[in-house]
Structure formats: structure tokens, C-alpha cells
Chain A
Amino acid sequence: MSLEQELSEAMRGHVAGVRASSLMGTAIRRRHRARRLRFRVAGAALATAAVAGAVPAYLALNAGPPPAAGGPAAPAGGEARAGVVEQVKVPDVGKKSVAEARAALAGVGLTVTVGNGAPGGSSPLPEPDDDDLVVEQIPAAGQAVPKGSAVELFAVARPAATSSPEAGPEKVSMPQDLGDLGDGREFGGVEFTYLPGGLVWGEWSVKNGFGVASYSTSWKKPDLPAGHYSVQAVVYRGDAAVAVTERMKGYRGQGAEPIKVGGRTAYLVNAGEAVGTIEESGTPTLVWAVGKGLAVEVMMSPDYAGELGGEAPAELRKIAEGVVPAK
């Protein structure tokens, strides 16, 4: 049998037992109702008397400082210019919380009210949580629209809040080989004395997942869902540490410049998805042999590195410099 056929058979066998639940439709519709909301951004032209009456209170609650362009005019000032169709640029509210999106939309001088479902729909939509995340907006950011156009937003509950009550699937599936590590800084015979501020232990650990012997855990920003990481570290000993030195040679072969960590040769690379490769968009990784039979690797999630921006390499180095033998 050819490899293609073997692979095809292997995949078939692997998922043969996987079946979509018959409740999928119900689950999708529930999700849809819970996550979908519409804000109507109603300008003077559209505002009914009732809406206009409700607006100032809303703005008082949610609006930031009035935008320079709009000047200090009161929100209701739109009514005075009802005959003029002023163009405004739709602000980018993607990835903002609903509260922030509300403020941003209000900030371009438009009045905001929470509307109802799809045209013709009759059931009222649930109020979104202020904390929900805006994932889509229509029209798109940057488009010029007349004041009074409707901006439609889709928001989702943040991952941590969406896990169904009957499950904590990700949490359950995380390995706990090293038990409760407390703050997670001490494992595999070393201690991580420095971590970027605000990270907490990822509440999982694995032994020998990266060769024998190896120990690994991660730290994350508290708002990340279980299973995601901000910084992960692996401590390699014995044969696993030897394999790491080979990997480092490979990095050198791919043109990576060695640096020094605590006087030892280290490599700071963007590790690709395949082990041992370097990719521009890979995971920022600092790896070094601490001593004979001991190597350490510190990885930073690309998301987190993006948040740190130019500081990411320096933070990785600081973490590495802070690694000391455990007491």
C-alpha cells in the first residue's frame, strides 16, 4: 500500500468513531442567540422621539470624552443639523469589549441604542455582557458612512465564560505529571526566579514529554483559557539534554547567531512548527545548555510576544538569566 493510502486509512480509522451530536443544531442556535446582538447606531434622521429621549442617559454612562471633530456639542446636537448628512468613519471596534465598542461608537458622535433581532424577528435578544468580545462589525472599520447608518456588531462571550456547565474539558485533559507546583517556578531541579509581571502558573505539567528526561510547564496571563500559554519552559536532563544540543547545532546550521546566557552559548530563534526548524512567524524560543546534562528551553507564545512587542526578546533573556539550580 502506498503512503497516501496508508495515511488515508489511518485517518479514516482515527475518526470513524467520531460523530456529531444530534443536538448540534440546538447547540448552534443557542450559541447564535446568546452571542448575537445588534446595536443600532441611530443618528438624528432615524431617531424616534423615544430613542432620542433615552440617548443622553446612555451616553452619560458609556461615552468617553467627545471627539475633537464633533466638538463639545451635546449629543442631541445632531437634531439641529438634521438636514445635513454628515459622513463619519466607522471606528474599528473589533476585539474590543462590548463596553469599549459602545464607547467608541458613541465617540464618533452617534447615538447608540440596543436594537432587536433580525428584521422580522420577534424574540428579543439577550443583553450582551459588557465584557463580551466584538468579533465582527458591519460596515467594516474605516468606511465612511452617513451619520445615521446602522452598525451591526457581533460579539462572543470570552472563552472562559463560554465553557458549558457540564464540562471543563480542557482543564481535565491537561496532564498533571508533577502535581501541584504552586507558582510553577520550581521544577525539574531548577527555579525560574524571573518571570514577566502578571503571569500565573498554567496549572499543568508533563514529565518526559520532550524526551527522557524532561520536565515542562507554562505560565499564562490569567485571562487566557486553560490550555493556552504565554510562556512555557522545558528542562531537559540526560539524553534529552543531549538531543537539545543537537537541535542547537541545527539552529546554527540554519544561520542562527549564538548569544550568551550566563556565559553559556544560547540560541534565540523563532522555532517553526516542525521541531528543529526556524520560521519567521514561529514561536520565540530561547534554548541553552546550562551545564553537562542539563538544558533549558523557554518559549513565548506568538500572541504574547506580539503584545510585548520589541520587549519580547529582552524578556526571554531575563527569564533565562533568572534560571538557577533549585534549593
Chain B
Amino acid sequence: MTEEDEAAFDEFLAARSTALLRTATLVCGASPHDAEDLVQGALEKVYRHWSRIRHDNPESYARRIVVNAAISLSRRRKVIREITFARLPETPVDGPDMELRDALLVELRRLPARMRAVLVLRYWEDLSETETAALMGCSAGTVKSQAARGLARIRERMGTLEGALG
């Protein structure tokens, strides 16, 4: 690594690390602390290959590593995660919207890891179906059907809560 490589890596972190940490938090459903540990591990991999990949879309490389690590952590901890999240965090309720959003997040966490990742990438990261597919190593059709099934599952479970969702 040259000094210029190091500086570029720092710039990359300044620009992207918070977004990657947020993605990891959403995909793995872990505490911010665990997510930070996961992102550090993933970015160490990026750093390892930095001089080779820095000119070749390091952002999507980093995102792919982070998302894969988050999915695999989420799978490994699956059973315990279900329990931990069965207990709603005691968040202050600022009106019905807050309640609805908490419930949505709970339902999001109950989805299979890859399905959740698709929803996070599509609706939080705002990636296209094609971009999501490339990142997850599947076809755009799979992304489309996973997103549709994920939304349908959430809608079904939320159905009893309010009729507010279109």
C-alpha cells in the first residue's frame, strides 16, 4: 500500500462507512455494536485488497462483502435472534406512525435473511433490481420475486394492525 492508497482508503471510509454500517444493521438485525464488529471485519478484507480494487468500484465490492457477512451472521444466530426480537424494544411511542414502523421492523426481522437483504437493498439503499441482483449473485427475476414475497409476507402479518397500507 502506498501512502496515496492509504489516504484514498481513509477517504473511502469517511464517505461510505456509516452507510455500510447502517446496511449491516438492517440486514443482520444485530445490535449496532455487533454490526460494527461485522463491518470492521468486512472492511479489513477490503483494505487487504485495496490497492487492487480501489479503482474498480470499491463501494460495490465493500457492500457485497458486508451484505454477505450480515446474511451469514444472521443465519448463524437465527434462533436466538428470533427470541431477542420477539421482545419489542421499549421505544417511546410518538403517535401511531412510530408504532407502525416498529411493527414493520419486527416483521422485517422475521423474514429469511436473503429476503430481508433484498428489501433493504431495494427500499433502503434504493438499488435497482439489476444492481441488487449483481450484488447478491442471483438473477434480477429472483430479486423481483423475493421482494414481492417479502412485501406480501409483511403485508399479511401487518394486516390485522391497520388498514393504512396500500
Contacts and interface: CB of A to CB of B under 8 A. Distances in A.
Contact of B108 (A7, A28, A218): A7
A165 to B, nearest CB: 14
B25 A7 contact: no
B13 A274 contact: no
Contact of B124 (A6, A12, A154): A12
B44 A35 contact: yes
A232 B17 CA distance: 35
Interface residues of B, number: 58
A227 interface: yes
Nearest to A24: B17
A178 to B, nearest CB: 12
11 contacts: A3-B154, A11-B26, A15-B124, A18-B32, A27-B40, A29-B47, A31-B41, A209-B84, A209-B87, A218-B79, A273-B112
Contacts of B110: 274-275
B139 interface: no
A68 B78 CA distance: 44
A205 to B, nearest CB: 10
A89 to B, nearest CB: 25
Contacts of A302: 75
Contacts of B22: 15, 18
B76 A303 contact: yes
Interface string A142-154: 0000000000001
A265 interface: no
List 4 A-B pairs, minimum CB-CB distance, nearest first. A273-B112, A20-B17, A209-B83, A10-B101
A10 B40 CA distance: 25
B113 interface: yes
A28 B22 CA distance: 17
B21 interface: yes
Nearest to A135: B45
B134 interface: no
Interface string B92-136: 000000001110110010111100000110011000000000000
A27 B153 CA distance: 39
Contact of B101 (A9, A216, A232): A9
B13 A25 contact: yes
A209 B86 contact: yes
B123 A4 contact: yes
Given A10-B101, A19-B18, A299 B83 contact: no
A210 B26 contact: no
Given A21-B36, A209-B87, A32 B44 contact: yes
A4 B151 contact: yes
Interface stretch (A41-49, A69-77, A167-175, A251-259): A167-175
Interface in A115-169: 118, 154, 167, 169
B33 A154 contact: no
B42 to A, nearest CB: 9
A206 interface: yes
Given A4-B151, A6-B165, A169-B31, A32 B80 contact: no
A273 B111 contact: yes
A216 B83 contact: yes
A173 B31 contact: yes
Contacts of B86: 209-210
B155 interface: yes
Nearest to B107: A7
Contacts of A13: 101
